[in-house]
Homo-oligomer: A and B are copies of this chain.
């Protein structure tokens, strides 16, 4: 079991001594104590659920100090050895003597866990203070720091009741849970945006749900804001009905030197703001169950408010869903402007009584995954005042990179046929209120058809619609520090979204951090092997409370979960460094070689067509398709070329975007190219999803909400391959994303295709494999056309960026 911690603030003894007093763990005269009574005191304080000294001492007898003596007996003899200290240290962290470590050699466990290092064998009281401080900031086997665990057992209950407790209460640079989660305030306000996206002549009101500690009435707190278009419900059946057929033909596109016309967006006439008919000291509405992200919940006890808004076109708000345009962004930032004191909100939907976020210190962060993280990126690219940072997980940075690729319609994995119009419909939860929808149904249908037309599934071109949904075009406005999290196996929001945004950020005067994990499209805040919650606590305590905790220096620039070993997280300063050298592989018959093939090697061909029954079967059995595509002999063998490199002799670490340069021809006036990079080898790999280690074991504060504790384990059974990266391209877009050119049947063209960025460790014994094919059953349109392709291997190559 490895408990990796990246959010530990280095401390001097003086800081440790001061902070232990700050949380009432010790008194100012503690150094006067002899080691044994000092240790007894520290131990007794470590059972906050027990109020009698007798009961606490009894617990001391349940801990072994040496292989012969329990801690209670041990304390009678006066001295405290480092061995006894370590034994107690591990037991308090939940390790089991005799099973996880030996009482005679406790340090054998140490390499996997943070712990204080003592060179002396006998400890004095100063050592004990240092040791206990380090204990409190170390993770237990249940995935949180020991201090968090004490808090969850009631440690801070007295301080929570005490008005003199310093708030926020900082320990090791992180905010501690001294806000009362049993007295949270739940309220709803309606922010007036400067939008009229449903063209009803009124500015769109936006429902905003707030959960905040009551202590924020006395002292303003920062806000964690999550914009989730899903959180007022989704129209699943309507979305399904609108989902596009992907079994359609690839067709020739008209040549065009530039598919983006940049016609000026017609600025809509915005109605006047509503008149303000008075002020309301408090919100008139509350709410019941609400969408909740457990990372946000964790911060409520720590002195942060949490704000949710679903935005234009959602239930109890006004306006229309626009899926990624500047109106949606403005609907997202309107909430921030209100939190920062720069915009009007009303206390209910009708009375026009304004209400201020007087409980907010005007320092705001955005959080969330997928569409939620996307809106955080959208907001950050406006430079809106008050937004200090975003933590964007698995977020889209350009919608073209979500629904399209290189001139092709390319679906997020798992959602073939989804598109901007489908998502707009899916999230248009105003429809759930029949009385509301009745008024706007026909305008909405027109609006939806406009999206369907503008997104242009017929060509897959990068056009004005997508240009307006590319947040990376507004990078210069970014003022917020940026924290990105992305899964290296996320084929829904593909890694390119994070990579391109990240690369561009490095040129901006803001701080940026990145975590890359091995998951697909998931949250990672409840993993045991990574102190993600602490990392975000350190980050937000700095960003939103302006505490000088060195967060920007302490936190690594990039943290990457290793794909080859469990519970392993590495750090580096870049991702896809421009200085990375590429290893060049040349194509030969069925193989990737270090040397070029003979120039006269005949082209190899493959044909995209499958018999109808097989085609139908694969469209419904995508896992089997994936499996068969990678196997040497399968029903798909004639539809693709597969090139394997020799088994790897030493570890190969790929970092960045692999690049394929092909000389290729289609026998039609159009063609599509798909590539998959595969790790071949029969090995035990990480499981595809993290498993629950302990149900509901991850407390978000004392008797408040809970999370499951999860972890990626090595799968019990070996598998024969793993997808590393992929890419797709329309032959007609070979010269540039915004250029459409002609394809002459039979003519060879030189194509360059950048694969999705990755960071991947290929272990010895494994083989790199590259598959060249056309229709991607999971992602592209599926015409099942009789198109034959020829690859001139002698003039093709494959470049793999290696860690420098």
Contacts and interface: CB of A to CB of B under 8 A. Distances in A.
Contact of A184 (B186, B188, B703): B703
A64 B434 contact: yes
A49 interface: yes
B289 A152 contact: yes
Nearest to A349: B58
Contact of A289 (B432, B438, B699): B699
Nearest to A54: B350
A536 B569 CA distance: 48
Q: Which of A71, A152, A288, A433 has the most chain B CB atoms closer than 10 A to its own CB? A: A288
A434 B62 contact: yes
Nearest to A153: B288
Contacts of A62: 433-436
B51 A438 contact: no
A237 B434 contact: no
A426 interface: no
A54 B348 contact: yes
A268 interface: no
Interface stretch (A93-101, A474-482, A501-509): A93-101
A188 B71 CA distance: 23
Nearest to A182: B182
Interface in A85-118: 91, 96-99, 103
Contact of A96 (B64, B434, B702, B706): B434
Contacts of A238: 99
Nearest to A282: B51
Contacts of A154: 286, 288
Given A49-B285, A186-B703, A287-B49, A99 B237 contact: yes
A289 B434 contact: no
Interface in A48-99: 49-52, 54-55, 57-58, 60-64, 70-72, 91, 96-99
A696 B432 contact: no
Interface in A280-327: 284-289, 292
A301 to B, nearest CB: 13
Interface string A424-468: 000000011111101000000000000000000000000000000
Contacts of A650: none
A697 B51 contact: no
Interface size class of A (residues with CB under 8 A): 35 or more
Interface string A205-217: 0000000000000
A183 interface: yes
A351 interface: yes
Nearest to A237: B99
A435 B71 contact: yes
Interface in A12-69: 49-52, 54-55, 57-58, 60-64
Interface in A700-718: 702-703, 705-706
Contact of A292 (B51, B696, B702): B696
A103 B699 CA distance: 46
Nearest to A55: B348
B436 A50 contact: no
A50 B285 contact: yes
A62 B433 CA distance: 5
A52 B72 CA distance: 61
Interface in A331-372: 347-351
A350 B58 contact: yes
Contacts of A186: 703
In this complex, the member of A55, A103, A152, A184 whose beta carbon has the largest number of chain B beta carbons within 10 angstroms is: A55
Given A288-B152, A288-B702, A435-B70, A52 B351 contact: yes
Contacts of A433: 62-63
A241 to B, nearest CB: 10
Given A64-B434, A350-B58, A435-B64, A288 B699 contact: yes
Contact of A51 (B51, B284, B287): B284
Nearest to A183: B182
A278 to B, nearest CB: 13
Contacts of A705: 705-706
Contact of A435 (B61, B284, B349, B351): B61
Interface core residue of A99, A184, A287, A434 (most chain B CB under 10 Å): A434
Nearest to A438: B64
Contact of A285 (B55, B287, B289): B55
Nearest to A68: B438
Contacts of A183: 182
Contacts of A153: 286-289
B188 A54 contact: no
Nearest to A188: B49
Contact of A348 (B50, B182, B435): B50
A432 B238 CA distance: 53
A288 B436 CA distance: 46
A84 to B, nearest CB: 12
A432 B96 contact: yes
A276 to B, nearest CB: 15
Contacts of A182: 182-183
A188 B350 CA distance: 50
Interface string A124-150: 000000000000000000000000010
Given A61-B435, A696-B289, A696-B292, A348 B284 contact: no
Contacts of A349: 54-55, 58
A258 B391 CA distance: 71
Interface string A264-288: 0000000000000000000011111
Contacts of A54: 348-351
Contacts of A699: 288-289
A324 to B, nearest CB: 25
A434 B188 contact: no
Contacts of A57: 350
A698 to B, nearest CB: 9
A706 B351 CA distance: 34
A348 B52 contact: yes
A435 B70 CA distance: 5
Given A49-B285, A103-B434, A153-B286, 11 more contacts: A49-B288, A51-B285, A52-B284, A52-B351, A55-B349, A61-B436, A64-B435, A64-B438, A96-B434, A153-B289, A288-B703
16 contacts: A52-B284, A52-B285, A54-B351, A55-B349, A62-B435, A63-B434, A63-B435, A64-B434, A70-B438, A99-B238, A103-B434, A153-B286, A153-B288, A153-B289, A154-B286, A288-B699
